[in-house]
Structure 1
Amino acid sequence: MSLRITLDFSEKDLERFRDMARKAMDTTRDQEPKQIIAGARKLIEEASGRGKSSEFVRGRLDMLRMLIDMLEDEGWGMQEVGRQRVLAALAYFNDPHDLIPDNIPGLGFLDDAIMIELMTRELKPEIEAYQDFVKYRDAEAQRRGMKPEELNRSDFLKSREQALLSRMRRRRRRVRGGGGGGKSPISLF
C-alpha cells in the first residue's frame, strides 16, 4: 500500500525556506567550494545509508548528485555565475541547523528534500543545459569511438551552432522554393 501526501506551500512558507537558504549561505560564505560539496555529499551518504529514505527523498538526492556532478565535470566547465548559484544552493547542506533534525526516522531528510526540490526549480536552466550536454557528449563519444571525457563544452557549443546554421539554411531553401520563385524583391544576395 502506498500513501500520497501533497504539500501546498504558501508564499510565506516558501519565504521561510528562502530565509533558511540565505542564512546557510551567510554562514558558509567563507568556506571553500570543496567544503560545500563535501557537506552535500555527507547528506547524500547519511540519507542513503539508512536505507529507509522515501522515494521522494531518494529522487531529490539524485538531483543533488547531479548538481555536484555539474560543478565537478571539467568537460562542462561551468561558468562562474552558474557555479556560484549552485554553490550557494549547496551551502544549505553545510548548515547544521535543519528545520527537521536528520536523525528523526522517516522525516529527518524531508526538509532537505524539499530544499533540493526548490533549488532544482530555481536552477532549472542550468540543469537542463547540463543534461543536454551530457546526452550530447555520451552520444558523440560513442559515435566517434572515444571516451566521453575527451569531449567538452566547446565541442557541444560548436555542434549546437552547426545545427542552428543547418536549420537556418533549410528554412531559407524552403522559403525560396515555396513561393513565387526567384529572389525576394528586397534580397541583397
Structure 2
Amino acid sequence: MYAIPDSRLPLPQVLDRFPAGVPHRRNHVNDYLLVPREVDYFNGFLALLGRAQPPLQTDQLATAARNLNDVAAGDTPSPCIQQRIQHAHLLEQLLQDRDWEPSADISRELKLVVAYLHASRQLIPDTVPGVGHLDLAIVIDTAWPKLAAEVANFVDYQRLRHLEAERQGRSDDAIAFNRSSWLELREIEARLHEHQRRVREGSYAPEPFTYFRVH
C-alpha cells in the first residue's frame, strides 16, 4: 500500500539520445500529429524541470511510441508508463496532504509536475491508445531525480501515520500527524531497530566461561 518500486522500468532509450545517422522524418504518435510549436513548448517545460539532454525531436517521440506499442497490451499503456502514472498520482497526494509540508527545495518542481498532470495543454492527448501518457512519463522522469527522496519520505510518513492511527484505534485522517510527528516517530523506530540489532548480535546473559576447574 505504501511501497514504491525499488527499480524504475526504463522508458525507450531513444528519448535520451537519438541514434546518429537516422533520418528525422516521423512526426506522428500513432495517428496523432505532433505540432512543432507544441514540441518546442514541451521542451521548454522540460528545461524548467532540469532536463539536461538536447531538446526532443518529433522523430524521437514517434520512435519511442512505436517501441512502446510493441510491448503494450492493446489500448493499455505499457508497464513503464503505468508506473509513471502511479508516481504522478502519488505526487498529487503528497501535494494535497494537508499535514505534509514538502521540502522547500523541491516545491517548484512538485507543483509544475502536478500542474502538468491536469493541464489542458499537453503534448500528447491522454486518449491516444497505449501511449497517451508518454509525455507525462517523460515529465515524471525529468523531475524524478529531485523528487525521489521526498516521495520516499512521504511514503514512509503514510506508513507511520497508519501505524499510529491503528495504535489509537482511529482512521489515518482523524489523527494529528505532520512532518514533525513523522520525524519523531521515525527516530523512535530507528532506535528500536538498533536495539533489536544489538540484541540479535549479542545477549543479555553473561559471556560463558571458556573453561572451568574442579577443586
Query: What amino acid does structure 2 have at the position aligned with 1:8?
Result: Q
Consecutive unaligned residues in structure 1, runs of 5 or more: 26-50, 178-189
The gaps in structure 2 that reach 5 residues or longer are 1-9, 19-39, 51-73, 205-215
- SS for the counterpart of 1:123 is helix
Structure 2 residue corresponding to 1:159, chosen from 185, 198, 208: 185
Q: Percent identity?
A: 25
- Aligned-pair distance for 1:165? 4.5
TM-score by length of 1: 0.57
> Contact 1:24 / 1:92 at 8 angstroms: preserved in 2?
no
| Residue 116 (1) aligns with residue 137 (2) | no
| Rg larger for | 2
* Aligned equivalents of 1:164, 1:144: Cα separation in 2: 21
Q: 1:42-92: per-residue Cα shift (whole Å, max 9, x none)?
A: xxxxxxxxx944143333222111101101111222233232221133344
1:51-62 counterparts in 2 under 5 A? Answer: 52-56=75-79, 57-62=81-86
Tell me the equivalent position of 2:47.
22
Instruction: State the Cα distance separating 1:159 from its structure 2 match.
Output: 1.0
Q: CA RMSD in A?
A: 3.8
Task: Identify the structure with the greater helix proportion.
Answer: 1
Q: TM-score by structure 2 length?
A: 0.52
Return the offset for 1:139: 1.5
Query: 1:85–1:107: structure 2 CA closer, same or farther, 3 Å change rule?
Result: closer
Moved more, 110-119 or 166-175: 166-175
Aligned residue pair count: 146
